[in-house]
Structure 1
Amino acid sequence: MNTLFISKKCYQDLLNHAKVHYPYECCGLLSGKFERAEHFWILHNQLKSSKRFLVKPDDLLNVIDQIKHQKEQLLANFILTHIRTALLQRPI
């Protein structure tokens, strides 16, 4: 199993997105190179629900195109629901 390293800025962007949209479920993609995430890409929850998430297919494809344009790789997707507890991973 490989380790994914998340830059401090990417980590903060991810947390800020979760805090702004709380209590709704939120989602985003992480991109970068060589298992190091440098960018967090926001995907908007069309349902505005705390239990379900729906993203428009065109929105997802647009973000993937932007990642390719940056010459980065899609490394992970995150779905965040409850941020009341501390995250276990620390940014590097």
Structure 2
Amino acid sequence: MRRVAGHRCGYSRTSPFIRFARKAGLGDPTLCEAIANAERGLIDADLGGGVIKQRIARPGKGKSGSFRAMILYKRATRAVFVYGFAKKERANITQDELVTGNA
């Protein structure tokens, strides 16, 4: 897991998420926006146990058909991006994938 420091929002990313974000062209400002929205209470889905799902806009596009990210989140304390996917590639992850972390 890599902690991204020195930015207006601190967050960590797992290696699989780093690869996903790089491939998708998601930079620090975009990920910070997702965390800032969560801090303001704008959470797209609270999956329980400190896991949230946030919609992340494709660079230069809107959020509706873009990306989804699973984030381990505790307000003002922790944000760890653990999994990301394109909405067009899959609608969601299953409950089993959420529990085991094998999405």
TM-score, shorter chain, exceeding 0.5: no
Q: TM-score, normalising length from structure 1? A: 0.36
Normalised by the length of structure 2, the TM-score is: 0.33
Choose between structure 1 and 2 for higher RCO, CA contacts under 8 A separated by at least 6 residues: 1
**Larger-Rg structure:** 1
